[in-house]
Amino acid sequence: MSRFDSLNAWLHWQEGFHPRAIDLGLKRAALVFQKLNPNCIKPVTITVAGTNGKGSCVAFLEAIYKAQGYKVGTYTSPHILKYNERIKINGVPVTDEIICAAFERIDVARADTSLSYFEFGTLAALDIFTSAALDLQILEVGLGGRLDAVNIVDPDAAIITSIDIDHVDWLGETRDAIGREKAGIFRKNIPAIVGDLEPPQSLLETAKEKQALLFCLNEDFSYKKSPNAWSWCSSEESYADLPLPVLKGEHQFRNASAAILAVATLQKKLPITEKAICNGLKNAQLMGRFQLCEEEGIPVLLDVAHNPQAVKTLVEHLDENFADKQIYAVFAMMKDKDINSVIELIKDKINNWFIAPLTNPRAATEEILLSCFHQQGISQVSIGFENFTETLKAAKQKAKKDDLILIFGSFFLVSEYLADKEIFKGANHGNR
C-alpha cells in the first residue's frame, strides 16, 4: 500500500523527513539507486552544472535533440509553477501518478536510509527515465556538482556553464573553491565542456587530475555574431548562419555554444543534423529568463536573477533593450544570497523598489532588505504589502505605459507572478 495518495502529500512529507534540507553527499542516493537499478541501465547522459545558465543550456539541448526526433528526458530544478516541471519527457512534464509511483518504489528500496527532498526528486527522475526507453537524459545539477545527487550517474558529456559566488555555505567563498566543486562532474576520457569565459584554475586542474577531455570557450570552440545570425566553430566542426537563439541575452550565445559542442562530441552516439540544431535554437523554451509579459499596457520583465553574475547580465539586457524607460522593481531575495552586491549592481537602473513578501522561510525579511537599501543610499523603497498581488498592484499604480515593471531576485517571485496569470489558474504549485 502506498504511503500517500497524492503528489502534494508526498512532497510535504519529504520536506520534513530528512534532518537537513540541504545535505550534500552521494552515498545515500547511490545506495538506493543501486537497489532500484542493479544493472546500472542508463540512456546517453549529459550532465549540466554551473552557477547560471544551466536551465538555458538544458533547454537548448532538449530542443535540438527533440528536433532530430530523439526521445529526451530532462531533470531540472527548481520549478516555477508545478513540481512536475522538474521531470519532463520530450518537453512534457510527467504526471502526478508517474511521480508518485516512482516515490513509492524509492520508499520501498531505501529501507532505513534517510533521503532529502532533492534526493527523492533526483532518484524519481532517474527511475522514471530508466524505464522510459529514452535516447538521452539531460541532468541539471541542483547545487555544486561533486556531491550533488545527480553526480551518482556517469555522464557521456559534462557541461559547466558559468562559475560565480553563490551558495557559499556549501561550496566555498571563492570562485576557485566553487570551481573545484562543480568540476566534480567531470570523468576520465569524457568531454568536459566549459562555457565560462574565465574558468578558475581549480577547474582546469581538476579536469587534468580526472583526465577529462577539456573543451573551453574561446580556446577549443567559439562563436561570432552578425546582425541577424551567428556562426559557431570548433577544431572538428563549424556552422555558419545559425539563427539567433530564441532565449535573449549575450550569455545565451555562450550557453548555446556549449550545448552545440556537447552535441558535436556525441555525434557518433546520437547523430544530429545542422537543421535540428537550427530548429532547436529557434524553439527552446524556458520560463522566467528575460520573459516579457504585459499588465494593462505596461511591459513586465521577469527574470530569476538572484546572484551578482546573473544581475550583471540583467543590467546588460536592460541597457540594450530598455535604456529609455523608467523601471519599477518588484523585488525579493533569499537571505542566504549576496543581497548587497545585487542591489549595488542594478540600483542605478531602478527608479522605485517594491518589496514583495514571500512565505518561504529562506526569504529575506523587510528588515534585512531595508538595511541593505540603507547601506546603498536608496530611499525609494515601498514595503508593508500583504502579498505579491498587492505589491504588483502598487507598482502598476506608479508606472506609466511607457515604463517597465521588473520582477526579479528569486525563482519564487517569478512563480508568484506566473501563478497569478489567468492562463495558469488552477495550476498545482506543489513545493519548490
Ordered domains of the chain (ranges, CATH)? 7-283 (3.40.1190.10), 291-424 (3.90.190.20)
Q: What is the pLDDT of residues 127-152, one digit of tens each?
A: 999 999 999 999 999 988 899 999 99
> How many whole angstroms separate alpha carbon 134 and alpha carbon 70?
8
| pLDDT, position 426 | 39
Which among 301, 418, 338 has a CA at the least distance from the CA of 164? 338
pLDDT digits (tens, 9 = 90+) for 94-123: 999 999 999 999 999 999 999 999 999 999
**Looking at residues 318-340, what average pLDDT do you find?**
94
Residue 424 has pLDDT above 60, yes or no: no
Query: What does the pLDDT read at residue 170?
Result: 57
Provide mean pLDDT across the span 391-405: 95
Torsion of CA 141, 145, 147, 151, to 10 degrees: 60
pLDDT per residue as tens digits for the range 173-193: 688 989 999 999 999 999 999
C-alpha pair distances (Å), 308 with each of 255, 314, 380: 18, 10, 21
Mean pLDDT computed over 157-186: 84
| C-alpha cell of residue 155 | 555522464
pLDDT tens figures, 55-85: 999 999 999 999 999 999 999 999 999 999 9
Q: Which residue has the cell 521531470?
A: 87
Q: Is the pLDDT of residue 430 over 60?
A: no
The pairing of strands 191-194 and 87-89 is unpaired
**3-to-39, 101, 107, 319 alpha-carbon distances in Å:** 27, 10, 8, 52
Predicted local distance difference test score (pLDDT) of residue 431:
36
When pLDDT is averaged across residues 386-415 and rounded to a whole number, the result is: 95
Average pLDDT over residues 329-353: 95
